[in-house]
Amino acid sequence: MTVNREETIDKARALGEQNKWSFPSFIDSKREFYSQFTPKYIPWNVIIDQNGIIRYSEPGFNQEKFEQILNQLTSK
C-alpha cells in the first residue's frame, strides 16, 4: 500500500494506475500513520508483512532496491 500525506485520493489512484500497482493507496491528511513510520524524510519506504512486522524501512526511494527487497520478501 502507499500512504499519501499531501495528495488527493484521485491523484494517488492515478499514480497507481500509471505504474500498474496492484496494491491500494491511502490518504493520511492528518499525518497520523505517517508520523508513526517516517521521522524526517519524504519519501520513506516501509514494507510491513502480513503479521505487522516491519521488514524494510528506509528514506528516499531507489526503485531497483525496493523491487529487489519486495521480491525477496514475496518469494518466501
> Three cell numbers at 67?
523491487
- Which pLDDT does position 61 carry in this prediction? 76
Q: Degrees (nearest 5) of the Cα angle 27, 34, 61?
A: 95
Domain residue ranges in the chain: 2-74
pLDDT digits (tens, 9 = 90+) for 16-58: 888 888 888 888 888 887 777 666 666 777 778 788 888 778 8
Q: Which residues of 30-50 are buried (b: 16+ CB within 10 A; e: fewer)?
A: eeeebeeebeeeeebbbbeee
Check whether 75 has a pLDDT greater than 80.
no
CA atoms 67, 68, 73, 76: torsion sign = positive
The CATH fold of domain 2-74: Glutaredoxin (3.40.30)
Question: Tell me, what's the pLDDT at 76?
Answer: 62
